[in-house]
Each structure stands twice: as structure tokens, then as C-alpha cells.
């Protein structure tokens, strides 16, 4: 069916390791190659139309090629693409972010979520003068050394608990606790007095399938970190603008010290941000001793895309979030009913415009351990069938299905029908 993609993949493998530019883009036997995208659709190299439920792993909250963003980017490109000197747009965007996120006084722009979390951790270490960091099993914060320990996303998919090529010294200061296990956090804090700089967490875990915080876990984490002088970093690279316009921190009413944003911030353009309390952020160079820099950071094209995205999100606001939540909850319910009807044990977690099904009979999925009990082989069967039916979800149990504002009811009806076929294929494979 995808013979053109097969040929392109063979060629790619000669010059690109494993033929892909990021690990989860690969799936067996070879990924499809994309020609173009628009709204909630992508077209492969043979012009086959797919409903996109991957949405740039969450980046495309507003869908592909949102009109206002395209207009802003084209206008900016006519004025130049990179200056490496300040622009008024950077300040405008920082103000907009700060208005949406009351915990953020000032913002430093970077290019990727990974750069944002790396900077956030360095800032926390610089501020507290402590070395250790606390992360949570299954949370993914980018592909840099300190956090590539028991990470989710591709690292979980390929069973790489800690990547080769990372010196032991880079991870000995990384403490790992189970998500939603407050007792575990207490223990680690007790065992490491006055030496933990920060706790970094995805407030909603979206890299181990989808896992929601439970039993006031985030509130209690906030309390214990404050009591012990540990900075709390919310990695909202996925959840920022997606769970609500003020991210998961607004939804759960927890105020972190530092926040990282990415993905939906630029709605498809490479821009991310680290922001937080002024007294912490002021440590960044050149005013302070914590170094961070990048040639492309705050480039005017990505910045104008982010301003346009934020203007659209600001205009659509609650109407968009309410509509997306209705579509997503409805889809999750239908998918759950389908699995029940086919007699397939499962759990579904969903929030806002994100959902994931786990093929498991082990009950609720509330942590990394629970997610690992899910039958990833069944997920692959479902994924392939969905693709055959014209629906593209991320090709891993340890990712999430994302809706975008470009999806209409009839698109989600089509997605639900494809899930029906996908889960039937799971049943037939028994
Ligand atoms: C929660 C979270 N943080 C950080 C990152 C890293 O972002 P990037 O891929 O832009 O470096 C990701 C990427 O998926 C993510 O999901």
C-alpha cells in the first residue's frame, strides 16, 4: 500500500540513522512519508488522506496551517528570518505568556522543549546551589543527559531505561520516584536532606500513555518542595495551552516555581520557553551567573507564529477547550464501549484534548508500572489497522492521541469507526 514510502525509506536509511529524524517516527515495517498537511489531515506521498490524531505529538492544538499563523509567518519572512538582536515581538510574546500563567514573571525563549527543561534544571541548581534533581518514572523531559533516566516516550517504547553514551556522573544526581506515589517522594526528600535542587514533573504525564495526577499528588508535591527549599518545575511542554489556556497548573491550581512550555506555544513552529519566578529567572546570563544561549532562540519567524497562535487561542478560549473536551470525552467513551463490546480488557485515560487506551486487565493506570503492564503488541495491531483505515495516531502505547481544533464532529466519527476496526483486529488476533 505504501510502496512509495518504502522506496523513500530505503533511500533515507542510507543517509539517516534508522531512516528517521526522531525515534518514535519509526514503526514496522517502515513509516509512511508525508507530502502535505492541512487542518486535521495529512496526505502521504501517494496522496492518501489521513486524519491526523498525532498532531505533531501535541504541537498542533490549532491544527495544520492555521490561517492566521500562516499569514503572520509569511509577513515576518518578508522582513527577515533571523536577526540575533532583540525584537519587540519577543517582549509581546513574553507578556502574553505571563498573562496566561500567573506563576511566570519573566520568560526566556528557546527552540525546543528539551532545551527548556535543561535550562530550568540548570537554573534550579544555580539558585539552590544544590546538585540533585528529582524526576518521576515515565516522565519525559527531552533527550538530555540528566533526565534520560527511566524516561517515557521513545525511551520507554524502545526499552532504553538510560541511554548509552551518558556518563554515570551525569545521572548519579538524578533521583527517581514513582508518579502519584507521595510516600516515595517523602522518602527521597528525607534521605537526601538539603541536597535536592528541584523536582521536575509533567503535571499530567503524557509520555507513558496518558496518566493523570491523583489524590492531591501535585498539591502535596508543592507543599513538600516548598518546605524543603526545593524548586518545583512543571514541565508543561505538552500540557501548556492544551489542558487549559493556563496549562495544567491552572487546572489543578498549583503554582510551580519554574514552568517549561513548547509544542502548542508555536503551533507547529520551533519555539519553546522557560519562565518563572523573577528571582530565579534573574540568575540567567548576562544579568546572572547561569549560562544559557542559542542562535535561533526567539527568532522572529517562530516568535510571530507563537504570537499569532496565542491570539487565536485567546480569541477562541473557553469555547475551544469546551468543544475539544466534549469531542475527546465522547471519543474516549465510544472507544471504551467498543473495547468492552469486543471483550478486550482495557483502561482509557483522558483529559482536555488528549486520550489513550491501555490494553490491560490490571485495573487503573496511574503510574509507569501500571502503563508497562499494558499489552503493547495489541496496541501495535490497533495502530496498524487505524492507519489502514486512514487515521494516524502516534505509533506507540507510550504516547497519546491528540485532538486539534481543526477536528470536527464528523472527523471524530470517522476516527471512532477506525478504532472499531482496530480493536476488532485486536480481538481477531487472539
Ligand atoms: C513533557 C515533555 N517535555 C519535554 C519534551 C521535549 O521537547 P522537544 O522534543 O521539543 O525537545 C517533550 C517532548 O515530547 C515532552 O513531551
Q: Which residues surround ligand 1 with Cβ inside 6 Å?
A: 57, 112-114, 117, 140-142, 153, 202, 207, 235, 237-238, 262, 272
Q: Which CATH number fits domain 67-312: 3.40.640.10, 3.40.50.1370, 3.40.1180.10, 3.90.1150.10?
A: 3.40.640.10
Lowest mean pLDDT, pick from 68-77, 141-150, 153-162, 400-409: 153-162
User: What atom in ligand 1 is closest to the CA of residue 236?
Assistant: 1
User: Residue 421 catalytic?
Assistant: no
User: What atom in ligand 1 is closest to the CA of residue 263?
Assistant: 10
Q: Which residue owns the Cα nearest ligand 1 atom 16? A: 238
Model confidence at 159, in pLDDT bands (50, 70, 90)? confident
- If you compute the radius of gyration of the chain from its CA atoms, what whole number of angstroms results? 21
Ligand 1, pocket-test mutation among 141, 179, 261, most atoms within 8 A of CB: 141
- Higher-pLDDT residue of 156, 427: 427
pLDDT in tens, 349-404: 999 999 999 999 999 999 999 999 999 999 999 999 999 999 999 999 999 999 99
Ligand 1, pocket-test mutation among 238, 248, 394, most atoms within 8 A of CB: 238
Average pLDDT rounded to a whole number, residues 181-204: 97
Residue 222 has pLDDT above 90, yes or no: yes
User: What atom in ligand 1 is closest to the CA of residue 142?
Assistant: 6
pLDDT in tens, 408-417: 999 999 999 9
Residue 1: predicted pLDDT: 54
- Tell me: cis bond preceding 286? Omega within 30 of 0 counts: yes
Share of the chain above pLDDT 90, in %: 94
Report whether 222 contacts 74 (CB < 8 A).
no
Residue 9: predicted pLDDT: 95
Share of the chain above pLDDT 70, in %: 100
Centre of ligand 1 from the C-alpha of residue 141, in Å = 5
Determine which one of 30, 57, 127, 140 is catalytic. 140
Q: What is the rounded CA–CA span in Å between residue 233 and residue 123?
A: 10
Ligand 1, pocket-test mutation among 112, 120, 140, most atoms within 8 A of CB: 140
* Neighbouring-strand partners of residue 49: 43
Model confidence at 69, in pLDDT bands (50, 70, 90)? very high
Model confidence at 147, in pLDDT bands (50, 70, 90)? very high
Mean pLDDT of all residues in the chain?
96
Helix residue ranges, H only, 140-256: 154-157, 168-171, 182-191, 217-227, 247-251
Average pLDDT rounded to a whole number, residues 2-8: 85
Residue 154: predicted pLDDT: 81
pLDDT in tens, 278-305: 999 999 999 999 999 999 999 999 999 9
> Would the pTM of this model clear 0.95, i.e. be above it?
yes
**What kind of architecture, by CATH, is found in domain 3-64+317-428?**
Alpha-Beta Complex (3.90)
Centre of ligand 1 from the C-alpha of residue 252, in Å = 21
User: Residue 263 catalytic?
Assistant: yes
Q: Which residue owns the Cα nearest ligand 1 atom 7? A: 113
Domain ranges of the chain: 3-64+317-428, 67-312
Residue 57 has pLDDT above 70, yes or no: yes
Residue 157: predicted pLDDT: 78
Tracing cell 495529512 back to the chain, one arrives at: 42
Q: Which residues of 49-62 are buried (b: 16+ CB within 10 A; e: fewer)?
A: ebbbbbbbbbbbbb
Centre of ligand 1 from the C-alpha of residue 206, in Å = 10
Residue 256 has pLDDT above 90, yes or no: yes
Residue 85 has pLDDT above 80, yes or no: yes
Average pLDDT rounded to a whole number, residues 196-206: 98
Q: Which residue owns the Cα nearest ligand 1 atom 4? A: 141
User: Residue 235 catalytic?
Assistant: yes
Model confidence at 207, in pLDDT bands (50, 70, 90)? very high
Phi-psi region of 132 (alpha: psi -120 to 50; beta: other; left: phi over 0): beta
Residue 430: predicted pLDDT: 77
Amino acid at each position: 500500500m505504501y510502496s512509495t514510502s518504502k522506496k523513500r525509506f530505503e533511500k533515507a536509511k542510507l543517509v539517516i540513522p534508522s531512516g528517521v529524524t526522531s525515534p518514535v517516527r519509526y514503526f514496522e515495517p517502515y513509516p509512511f512519508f508525508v507530502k502535505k498537511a492541512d487542518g486535521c489531515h495529512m496526505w502521504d506521498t501517494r496522496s492518501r488522506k489521513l486524519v491526523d490524531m498525532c498532531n505533531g505529538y501535541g504541537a498542533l492544538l490549532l491544527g495544520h496551517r492555521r490561517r492566521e499563523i500562516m499569514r503572520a509567518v509569511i509577513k515576518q519572512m518578508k522582513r527577515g528570518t533571523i536577526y540575533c538582536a532583540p525584537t519587540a515581538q519577543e517582549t509581546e510574546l513574553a507578556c502574553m505568556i505571563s498573562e496566561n500563567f500567573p506563576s511566570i514573571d519573566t520568560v526566556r525563549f528557546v527552540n525546543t522543549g528539551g532545551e527548556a527543561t535543561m535550562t530550568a534544571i540548570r537554573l534550579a541548581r544555580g539558585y539552590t546551589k544544590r546538585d540533585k534533581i528529582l524526576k518521576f518514572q515515565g516522565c519525559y523531559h527531552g533527550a538530555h543527559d540528566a533526565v534520560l533516566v527511566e524516561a517515557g516516550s521513545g525511551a520507554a517504547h524502545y526499552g532504553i531505561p538510560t541511554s548509552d553514551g551518558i556518563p554515570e556522573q551525569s545521572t548519579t544526581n538524578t533521583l527517581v520516584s514513582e508518579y502519584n506515589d507521595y510516600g516515595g517522594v517523602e522518602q527521597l526528600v528525607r534521605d537526601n536532606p538539603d541536597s535536592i535542587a528541584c523536582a521536575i514533573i509533567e503535571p499530567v504525564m503524557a509520555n507513558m500513555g496518558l496518566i493523570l495526577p491523583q489524590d492531591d499528588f501535585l498539591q502535596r508535591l508543592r507543599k513538600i518542595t516548598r518546605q524543603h527549599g526545593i524548586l518545583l518545575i512543571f514541565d508543561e511542554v505538552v500540557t501548556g495551552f492544551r489542558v487549559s489556556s493556563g496549562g495544567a497548573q491552572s487546572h489543578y491550581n498549583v503554582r510551580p516555581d519554574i514552568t517549561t512550555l513548547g509544542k502548542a506555544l508555536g503551533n507547529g513552529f520551533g519555539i519553546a520557553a522557560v519562565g518563572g519566578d523573577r528571582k530565579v529567572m534573574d540568575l540567567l546570563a548576562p544579568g546572572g551567573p547561569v549560562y544559557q544561549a542559542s542562535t535561533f532562540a526567539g527568532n522572529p519567524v517562530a516568535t510571530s507564529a507563537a504570537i499569532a497562535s496565542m491570539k487565536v487561542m485567546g480569541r477562541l478560549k473557553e469555547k475551544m477547550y469546551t468543544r475539544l473536551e466534549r469531542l475527546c470525552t465522547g471519543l474516549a467513551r465510544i472507544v471504551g464501549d467498543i473495547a468492552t463490546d469486543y471483550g478486550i480488557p482495557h483502561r482509557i485515560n483522558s483529559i482536555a484534548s488528549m486520550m489513550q487506551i491501555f490494553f490491560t486487565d490490571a485495573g487503573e493506570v496511574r503510574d509507569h508500572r501500571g502503563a508497562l503492564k499494558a499489552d503493547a503488541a495489541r496496541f501495535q495491531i490497533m495502530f496498524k489497522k487505524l492507519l489502514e483505515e486512514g487515521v494516524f495516531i502516534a505509533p506507540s502505547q507510550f504516547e497519546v492521541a491528540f485532538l486539534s481544533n481543526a477536528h470536527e464532529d464528523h472527523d471524530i466519527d470517522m476516527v471512532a469507526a477506525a478504532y472499531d476496526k482496530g480493536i476488532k483486529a485486536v480481538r481477531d488476533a487472539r
